[in-house]
């Protein structure tokens, strides 16, 4: 199948730098995707964008180049609830990739079991309106109840301004709940401001809530340039991520978000994204929790 990319779509960085920050042994890239390739795994008819192909081989090459040991592959909306590309990548990884799938309420128990055997350990509920059509909350709660029985968790993706409206639903979920990209804070607001305070309160009040401290390139208003006297890019995002890491060190995950869907202004150098980590997790202990202990506990508990 030939799929025409969404106009303005940026392909992933062709030659990411080798990070200067040495990742701890066993580090997990806990948020990345595979796209197609469309000829083998067609994109979903209901998708809101058509990406470039970004298959498992390229993902595993990036993993090795950056120095990660494992990946958690998150189902992207361009594949809808068709998890075949994700499952294929997990199966091909020799146990080095686990997955977070998207499923519909009518999925059979046998299909859930097959996903589990392939390495899926969670489902993703997406509330970002530009990415998905609406799914009734009853459907999502029904799915959550069924996957809880498998020991899986729920990954949620939403915009910060929608947290008040979604709070009751999120806090009723019966599993660990992992928030993508810190709930997308507006980093133009102060880190001590009310919007981010609400997110911190959400994590404080609900010990089953975890956060990915990922996507500085997506959240930054200033972009990748390190300005005068600054030592790293995406500096406006660092205080937000660091606050979460320091307050909830046992409930944070990090991921590249490769191949970086829907970026219109710039494509990050994945090596520089890895170099961002010590600015948000400044000590070796915090780095080990963020990159090894926490993702292993959630995705490979049998190996601990
Ligand atoms: C991300 C972010 C985005 C897209 C998706 O599944 C997706 O399509 O997650 C986005 O556009 O913000 O985590 O990759």
Ligand 1 pocket: which of 157, 181, 183, 270 to mutate (most atoms within 8 A of CB): 157
Q: Other CB atoms closer than 10 Å to residue 138's CB: what's the count? A: 9
Please report whether residue 47 resides in a domain. Answer: yes
Predicted pLDDT at 223: 82
Q: Is the pLDDT of residue 229 over 80?
A: no
**Residue 24 confidence (pLDDT):** 98
With tokens 């090795």, the residue in question is 64
Length of the chain: 304
Residue carrying the six token digits 């490979």: 300
- The strand pair at 120-126 and 97-101 is best described as parallel
Q: Examine the residue annotation and report whether 257 is marked as an active-site residue of this protein.
A: yes
Residue 179 has pLDDT above 70, yes or no: yes
Domain with residue 295: its CATH number is 3.20.20.140
- Of the pLDDT bands very low, low, confident and very high (cuts 50, 70, 90), residue 189 is very high
| 6 falls within a domain | no
Cβ of residue 262 lying under 6 Å from some atom of ligand 1:
yes
- Determine, yes or no, domain membership for 116: yes
Q: Is the pLDDT of residue 1 over 60?
A: no
Q: Which of 267, 243, 265, 244 is nearest to 256 (CA)?
A: 267
Distance from residue 204's CA to the centre of ligand 1 (Å): 26
Residue scoring higher pLDDT (222 or 287): 287
Burial class (CB in 10 A: 0-12, 13-18, 19+), 44: middle
pLDDT at 88: 98
Q: What's the 221 CA to ligand 1 centre distance in angstroms?
A: 18
Residue 49 located in a structural domain? yes
* Mean pLDDT for the chain overall: 96
64, 257, 265, 275: the catalytic one is 257
Largest CA distance in the chain: 57
Mean pLDDT of 207-218: 97
| Confidence band for 226, pLDDT divided at 50, 70 and 90 | low
Tell me whether residue 52 is in a domain. Answer: yes
Give me ligand 1 centre to Cα 128, in Å: 9
Question: Tens digit of pLDDT for each residue in 108-155?
Answer: 999 999 999 999 999 999 999 999 999 999 999 999 999 999 999 999
289 within some domain: yes
CB distance 261 to 222 below 8 Å: no
* Domain that includes residue 205, residue range: 28-299
pTM of this prediction exceeds 0.85: yes
Query: Quick check: CB of 102 below 6 Å from ligand 1?
Result: no
Q: Is residue 10 situated within a structural domain?
A: no
Residue percentage of the chain with pLDDT more than 90: 93
Say which residues have a Cβ less than 8 Å from residue 220's Cβ, sequence separation at least 6.
187, 233, 234, 236, 237
Overall average pLDDT of the 93-115 stretch: 98
Question: Please, which pLDDT band fits residue 3 given cuts at 50, 70 and 90?
Answer: confident
pLDDT of residue 14: 96
Examine residue 1 and state whether it is found in any structural domain, yes or no: no
Total tally of structural domains belonging to the chain: 1
The yes-or-no verdict on residue 227 having pLDDT over 60 is no
């Amino acid at each position: 199948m030939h799929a025409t990319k969404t106009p303005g779509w940026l392909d992933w960085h062709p030659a990411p730098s080798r990070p200067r920050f040495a990742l701890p042994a066993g580090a997990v890239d806990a948020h990345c995707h595979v796209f197609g390739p469309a000829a083998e795994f067609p994109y979903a008819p209901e998708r809101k964008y058509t990406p470039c192909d970004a298959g498992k081989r390229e993902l595993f090459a990036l993993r090795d180049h950056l120095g990660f040991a494992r990946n958690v592959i998150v189902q992207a909306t361009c594949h809808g609830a068709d998890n075949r590309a994700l499952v294929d990548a997990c199966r091909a990884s020799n146990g080095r990739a686990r997955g977070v799938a998207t499923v519909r309420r009518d999925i059979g128990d046998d299909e859930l079991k097959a996903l589990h055997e392939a390495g899926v350990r969670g489902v993703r509920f997406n509330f970002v309106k530009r990415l998905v059509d609406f799914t009734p909350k009853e459907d999502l709660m029904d799915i959550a109840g069924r996957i809880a029985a498998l020991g899986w968790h729920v990954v949620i993706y939403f915009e910060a301004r929608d947290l008040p409206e979604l709070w009751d639903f999120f806090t009723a979920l019966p599993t660990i709940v992992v928030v993508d990209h810190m709930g997308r804070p507006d980093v133009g607001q102060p880190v001590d401001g009310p919007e981010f305070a609400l997110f911190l309160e959400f994590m404080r009040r609900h010990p089953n809530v975890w956060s990915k401290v990922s996507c500085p390139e997506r959240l930054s208003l200033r972009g990748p340039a390190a300005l005068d006297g600054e030592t790293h890019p995406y500096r406006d995002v660092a205080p937000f991520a660091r606050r979460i890491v320091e307050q909830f060190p046992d409930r944070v995950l990090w991921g590249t978000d490769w191949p970086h869907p829907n970026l219109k202004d710039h494509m990050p150098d994945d090596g520089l994204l890895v170099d961002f980590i010590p600015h948000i997790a400044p000590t070796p202990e915090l780095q080990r929790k963020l990159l090894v202990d926490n993702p292993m506990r959630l995705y490979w508990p049998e190996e601990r």
